[in-house]
Amino acid sequence: MADKKQDFIDQRLHDLNNDGVDRRGFLKCMAWAGTGLVWTLAGGVPVSRVFAKGAKKDGAKGGDFTFVQISDSHIGFDKPANPDVTATLQVAIDKINALPERPDFMIHTGDLSHLSKPTEFDTLDQALRGAAAKQIYFVPGEHDMLTDNGEQYLQRFGKGAKGTGWYSFDHKGVHFVGLVNVANLKAGGLGSLGHEQLEWLEDDLKGRSTSTPVVLFAHIPLWTIYPDWGWGTDDSEQALSYVKRFGSVTVLNGHIHQVMQKVEGKVSFHTAMSTAFPQPAPGKAPSAGPMKVPADQLKKVLGITDVNYQVSGKSLAVVDSSLDGSMSASSGE
């Protein structure tokens, strides 16, 4: 297991160093002993978006596509960490619109709003209308369900979804599943999918070919990052047991306002930066509250995630870029 982890790190380093992109700055790898958490960070020139093995040789194939993940916009938040979250969301959208390849669609992994206020949802909606990618898939964060068990969210951003807002769709041979793990949370517990949704998920995946790449996305991480801060999902193990037979599974989450990655067998876990404010590394602060950084540093710790799918290797490469372009992190197989 340890060797596999090391292999993965070495492979990432190799890919990062040999993709033909001039990259100044640093390249840093950090493994969290015991938990299998792996970070790969590359700094310097804005990173090329294609890291998947064999990508260059094969070139872009007809079915290749990219999509963008944004997360934790927290429209309505106005505290010192970031008094203008609408402005930074706009920077994120501008960045998406400037991507060399237009994404087929976007996903937003929750906490659209800060307090579930209609005006906050309005502002987010207005801002996202300016994005080049017109199709946006949402899942709710706990901040989107504060007032009415998420009814307002469902009406505006989850039309046609099941239960509290879960659904699936297919895009160019990839199966996407949006999950809700922020509803009906129990005292003392973590995120929760619940029995009904798990049954639906099992059924949704049943009969699909194991060669179908699967992308699961939800707000709270579907892997346990730091239970003391509620950074995990109580019944995620069961959900993951349904995807184990698939050859390529990518799990995209938000909630923790920072990039974290883990690879377990064929499953890659990944969390995205926020477009609003950063949060501290696990246990590195008294609480998970907003991390205050100097104003000129803010855009270094906010960002977007660009995911590139390549038919040739049936693989997804995930690239995180900070809003100011000073940092990119990549992962993928």
Partner 1 sequence: MQPLKVKQFADLKWNVAVLIVVTSVMILVSTISQAQHENSSSKPVGATTGTDAAAQVMIDNFVYSPVPLSVKVGTTVTWINHDDIPHTVDSTQGKFKSAALDTDDKFEFKFTEAGEYPFYCRIHPKMTGKVIVQP
The answer to whether residue 116 forms part of the interface with partner 1 (CB under 8 A) is yes
**Which of the ranges 33-41, 89-97, 179-187, 209-217 carries the binding residues for partner 1, by CB under 8 A?**
179-187
Neighbours of 276 (CB within 10 A): 26
The answer to whether residue 286 forms part of the interface with partner 1 (CB under 8 A) is yes
CB of 111 to partner 1, least distance (A): 10
**Which of the ranges 45-53, 63-71, 108-116, 169-177 carries the binding residues for partner 1, by CB under 8 A?**
108-116
For partner 1, which residue of 9, 41, 60, 185 counts as binding (CB under 8 A)?
185
CB of 249 to partner 1, least distance (A): 27
Neighbours of 130 (CB within 10 A): 12
The C-alpha atoms of residue 252 and residue 282 are separated, in whole angstroms, by 18
The answer to whether residue 114 forms part of the interface with partner 1 (CB under 8 A) is yes
Crossing angle, helix 118-128 and helix 85-97, to 10 degrees? 20
For partner 1, which residue of 188, 206, 207, 294 counts as binding (CB under 8 A)?
188
Buried b (16+ CB within 10 A) or exposed e, 40-67: bbbbeebbbbbbbbebeeeeeeeebbbb
For partner 1, which residue of 25, 83, 118, 227 counts as binding (CB under 8 A)?
227
**Which of the ranges 45-53, 132-140, 169-177, 284-292 carries the binding residues for partner 1, by CB under 8 A?**
284-292
DSSP notation for 128-194? HTTSS---EEE---GGGSTTTTTHHHHHHH-TT-BTTTBEEEEETTEEEEE---BSSPPTT--BB--
For partner 1, which residue of 189, 212, 293, 311 counts as binding (CB under 8 A)?
189
Tokens at residue 16, please? 């990062």
The residue (of 197 and 308) whose beta carbon lies closer to partner 1 is 197
The answer to whether residue 146 forms part of the interface with partner 1 (CB under 8 A) is yes
CB of 150 to partner 1, least distance (A): 12
The answer to whether residue 54 forms part of the interface with partner 1 (CB under 8 A) is no
Contacts 24+ apart (CB under 8 A), 2-9: 5/31, 5/36, 5/38, 5/263, 8/38, 8/263, 9/38, 9/40
For partner 1, which residue of 20, 159, 187, 296 counts as binding (CB under 8 A)?
187
Nearest to 42 by CA among 24, 67, 18: 24
The answer to whether residue 150 forms part of the interface with partner 1 (CB under 8 A) is no
Contacts with partner 1 by CB under 8 A: the residue count is 26
The answer to whether residue 143 forms part of the interface with partner 1 (CB under 8 A) is yes
The residue (of 133 and 183) whose beta carbon lies closer to partner 1 is 183
Q: Under rule CB under 8 A, which residues in 62-81 are in contact with partner 1? A: 77, 79-81
Using alpha carbons only, give the angle 151, 88, 304 rounded to the nearest 5 degrees. 80
The C-alpha atoms of residue 20 and residue 51 are separated, in whole angstroms, by 10
Applying CB under 8 A, which residues contact partner 1? 77, 79-81, 114-116, 142-143, 146-147, 185-190, 227-230, 286-290
